[in-house]
Amino acid sequence: MPLTNYIFTSESVGEGHPDKICDRISDAILDAFLTADPMSRVACETLATTNQVVIAGEVRGPASITPKVIEDVTRAAIKDIGYEQDGFHWKNAKVDVLLHAQSVDIAQGVDAAGNKDEGAGDQGIMFGYACRETDVLMPAPIHYSHAILKSLAEARHSGAASKLGPDAKSQISLQYENGKPVRATSIVVSTQHTEDADPDEVREIVRPHVLNVLPKGWMCPEDQFYVNPTGRFVIGGPDGDAGLTGRKIIVDTYGGAAPHGGGAFSGKDPTKVDRSAAYAARYLAKNVVAAGLADRCTIQLSYAIGVSRPLSVYVNLHETGQVDEMKVSKALQDLVDLSPRGIRTHLGLNKPIYARTAAYGHFGRQPDADGGFSWEKTDLVDQLKSALR
């Protein structure tokens, strides 16, 4: 019997969190390669610590993307986030670029040759999820956690919250009744701040951003509203805690409300199904829910390295479906080519659209005119309805 009354919690981290800085740098480098050559292969990992950035991984792309270009892209990303601190500064940080050529063993599995289509860049399982808890068909706890931090960052960049620093985290616990979220039971926001900002001042800077994001009447009790629970958060970013690419995979996806295959996204070009197939799975799940075929939908795709077609396409409608799940799976496979090449073509993924995904989640965003967040479109709705009526 499904659980209907419970409390569920999700967290988010802001663009200045050490791990998110690394995601942003890795994706900015990926965008640089894709701008120069849309067929570039990139698997870029970043480490950041006190005034030090190390970039490693494998690439196959144009010679115009030199180590100097990569260093410049890195510094620009750090500057845009807002780091000009003694312990981490866009201008003063040391940047080591240790990228090398893509393995020929991996490349031969991915490349098309003769009658062989392009294969997946690795084995693995990827999940997509959608539900009716928010208008963007995302779970409410992660959606509102992201929105609080995005609002704070916009205020910091505009100068309206000049005493806040780039590093920040949020966490929301929501009460569910009859399976639907109805209110927050607790909210935690930790944000870096200037030396002269006292705890009460920071609390009141944060408060309106929480109130403006949550639905009316959802605010938690005052004694469950925690802002900088330790009392001080001046030292932050990579100076306070080292960062790594790909360490916030639950923040990037569904906040723990859905399964995760374990693969990270940032720094990976779309031949890597860790990224592209996860986007495709979200696209399919969102269209199923948007079409009114279910209130919740989980989709799993699985791949083998060098093999073009998915090994399985699993659909779970969580007992909310209007049609048989096997029929939904077949209809989705008929409508969308789920080979790596098919996904990249259908969603237009060989474009420099990735740096913008590095903070505030890869899902639940509005599609951009230039092709960014194409996996959030609901353009399969009519076709699904026709196929499954």
Catalytic residue set: 17, 19-20, 45, 58, 169, 233, 241-242, 247-248, 268, 272, 274
Say if residue 150 carries a ligand binding annotation.
no
Say if residue 351 carries a ligand binding annotation.
no
Q: What distance in Å separates the CA atoms of residue 359 and residue 147, rounded to the nearest whole number? A: 11
Say if residue 286 carries a ligand binding annotation.
no
Say if residue 79 carries a ligand binding annotation.
no
Which residues contact residue 113 at a Cβ distance below 8 angstroms, ignoring those fewer than 6 apart?
none
What are 12's two structure tokens? 């988010």
Place of tokens 């940032």: 266
CB 226 within 8 A of CB 189: yes
Dihedral (CA of 64, 70, 76, 81) sign: positive
Say if residue 45 carries a ligand binding annotation.
yes
B/e letters for 330-346, b = 16+ CB within 10 Å, e = fewer, are ebbeeebbbbbbbbbeb
Q: What distance in Å separates the CA atoms of residue 328 and residue 288, rounded to the nearest whole number? A: 8
**Dihedral angle of Cα 199, 200, 206, 211, to the nearest 10 degrees:** 150
Say if residue 41 carries a ligand binding annotation.
no
CB 209 within 8 A of CB 152: yes
Say if residue 282 carries a ligand binding annotation.
no
Residue 274: in which H helix or E strand, if any? helix 273-290
What are 292's two structure tokens? 């009114």
Say if residue 319 carries a ligand binding annotation.
no
Say if residue 171 carries a ligand binding annotation.
no
Which residues contact residue 4 at a Cβ distance below 8 angstroms, ignoring those fewer than 6 apart?
176, 177, 178, 179
- The HSE-up count of residue 321 (CA atoms within 13 Å, CB side) is 18
Place of tokens 């009859």: 178
Say if residue 300 carries a ligand binding annotation.
no
Say if residue 248 carries a ligand binding annotation.
yes
Q: What distance in Å separates the CA atoms of residue 332 and residue 138, rounded to the nearest whole number? A: 20
Say if residue 58 carries a ligand binding annotation.
yes
Q: What distance in Å separates the CA atoms of residue 220 and residue 203, rounded to the nearest whole number? A: 14
Binding residues: 17, 19, 45, 58, 102, 167-169, 232-233, 241, 247-248, 264, 268, 272
Binding residues for ATP: 17, 167-169, 232-233, 241, 247-248, 264, 268
Binding residues for Mg(2+): 19
Binding residues for L-methionine: 58, 102, 241, 272
